[in-house]
Amino acid sequence: MSLIVAARFTTFPAAEDAAAKLFNAGFVEEDVTLFFVNPRGQHARFPIGGDTSTDAGARDAPKGAGMGVTIGAVVGAVVGVGIFAAFSAPIIVSLIAAGVGAYVGSLIGAMSRTRDAGHAGHTGHRPAFHEETRDSGVLVAVHVSPDNQFDAARVLREAGGMAIERASGRWQQGRWADFDPLKQPVPLSEFSERSA
C-alpha cells in the first residue's frame, strides 16, 4: 500500500494551480493526480445509478404493502359480501371485490410508508447506511513517503486546499487506483485547523 495525502479544492483551476505548486516543490508528475469527487449519493455504484441498493424513503414500503393487502382484502371482502347480499350477485363478485381491495390496499400501504420514511429524513434523522462525510469537489492526491508527507500537506494547504487527509491506498500509473468516495477520510491532524 502507498501513502497518499489529498486535499479538496472547489474548482479545477485551483486544483491545477496546487498541482503546479507541488511540481515546483519537487514532486514529480507521476506522483500527483487530480479528479472530481461527485456529490453525496451520486457515485453510481450500481448499473442503474445510485450508491445503495434501496432508497432510504422506500425502506419500509414492503411492511406498508403487507398491512395494506390485509386491510384492503378485508374491506374488499366486506364490500363484496354487501353487494352479494343486496343484489344477489354471484359469489365471484365478492372474490373480485376482495382482490381489488387487496391490490388498492397494498398500493396505499406502500405509498404511506414511503411518505413517512421520506419525512423522517427531513427531520434530521439520516439513514444509517448512507453516512458520507466526504464533500464533493476536485481532489488533488499526492503519492508521498513518510518523509515528505507533511511537505505535500503544507503545499496543498498554502494553495487553498481544504479537508487535507492521509490515506493508504494503491497508487498505479500516476493515479489513486483504489479511491473509494464512500470511505470516510482520515484528516491529517497536523493540518486539520484549515480543513473544512
Min mean pLDDT across 1-15, 28-42, 168-182 is at 28-42
Pull the grid cell for residue 133: 462525510
Amino acid at 190: E
Pull the grid cell for residue 34: 487530480
How many Å separate Cα 116 from the centre of its chain? 20
pTM (2 d.p.): 0.56
pLDDT of 23: 93
User: Which residues are CB-neighbours of 2 under 8 A, at least 6 positions away?
Assistant: 143, 168, 169, 170, 171
pLDDT digits (tens, 9 = 90+) for 78-117: 887 777 777 777 878 778 887 888 888 888 877 877 755 4
CATH class of 2-40+132-191: alpha beta
Residue from 156, 58, 36 nearest 110 by CA: 58
Mean pLDDT, rounded, of the chain: 78
